[in-house]
Amino acid sequence: MSAQELFIVFAIPIVLGVIFAFSFTMEPRRLINGVLFNFFAVTFLVALAIAILRSGNLLLISVTGVLFLIIILIVALLFALHLFWLLWNAILVWRREGHSLSNMLTLYIAIGLLLIEIAASFGRRFIPDPLYFSLAIFFGLGGFYVLLTLYNFLTVLILYNFRPQPHNRTFLIVLGAGLLHGDQVSPLLASRIDAAITFYRKQIKKGRPAPRIIFSGGKGSDEAISEAMAMQRYALGKGIPEGDTLLEDQSTTTLENMQFSKRLITQEIGESPYKASFFTNNYHLFRAGIFARMAGIAANGVGGATSFYFLPNA
């Protein structure tokens, strides 16, 4: 291909890439960023495929074709084993993260999919063909729309996780999560605290003032102590000075985490300017960022690592 042909092929993805970069830089907590990035990615891949096919390089075309087939086979295998995988994941989360109903999302999905398959099988026998096919199209399109929406949300979630955070914070806000046995930090919650501790130590190592760590989380009906206190105990056990910690132990939702933490910051420094970061698990980061904006708190997020087995439940 000539240089002019290459420019024409890649012009659309380049323009979309520039628009996405500008939008994401101005405000990373917008869902439109996922739409822009996905349009950029699709048009770029199409342009790349055109360039490869027009190159006439048989080896390059063959390798690309094999990679594409491998991806298709992996997706098909995952789809074929989806019920088994969802049930296995539900058992694993139940054993490792606690027995709350919120940890059983993959079990609910598995049961729902099984019921849909059973209903579709029986419906084919008893529902007239015109109505059956109309229902199939309706639910098929609805399911496709839901999948596209989830994919867009997943895209912007991943993008938000890669946003850099300068080590010049005044406050670090760690968002709470349910406790094990009423008073113990779960592995999921520990990853949030560990991320904040790592950030805290890196900032000090860079020669900057130590930030205050706000542990935010109230006491649930099945908990012996507040999530904030359990998190503080965990951090003190990791060597964080108690004087560098603050407790916000009244919140019960993510929005309240942000609102009450902002109130605590105001109590500490008044209306003085500050810089803050909040810490949660990477799957929860974007949604928490939206709540931070709603609460009017000047903070972006840092994601703690989430065990692979928990991600489908997220």
Match 């974007």 to its residue by tokens. 286
What interhelical angle do 105-126 and 82-97 show, nearest 10?
Answer: 150
Residues 6+ apart with CB under 8 A from 307: 96, 187, 188, 191
Cβ contact 47:9 at 8 Å: yes
Higher per-residue pLDDT: 25 or 209: 209
Mean local confidence (pLDDT), 221-238: 92
- pLDDT-based confidence at 310, cuts 50/70/90? low
Match 């003032």 to its residue by tokens. 209
Mean local confidence (pLDDT), 151-165: 80
User: For the whole prediction, is pTM greater than 0.75?
Assistant: no
Rounded-to-integer distance, Cα 282 and Cα 289, Å: 11
Average pLDDT score, the chain: 84
Q: Does residue 205 carry a pLDDT above 70?
A: yes
Q: How many CB atoms lie within 10 A of CB 35?
A: 16
In tens, the pLDDT along 79-121 reads: 777 677 777 767 766 666 555 555 666 677 777 777 777 777 7
- pLDDT-based confidence at 305, cuts 50/70/90? low
Predicted local distance difference test score (pLDDT) of residue 277? 93
Locate the domains of the chain by residue range.
3-80, 85-161, 171-313
Any idea what the Cα angle at residue 223 is, between residues 171 and 305, rounded to 5°?
45
Predicted local distance difference test score (pLDDT) of residue 52? 86
Mean local confidence (pLDDT), 9-26: 91
**CATH class of residue range 171-313:** alpha beta
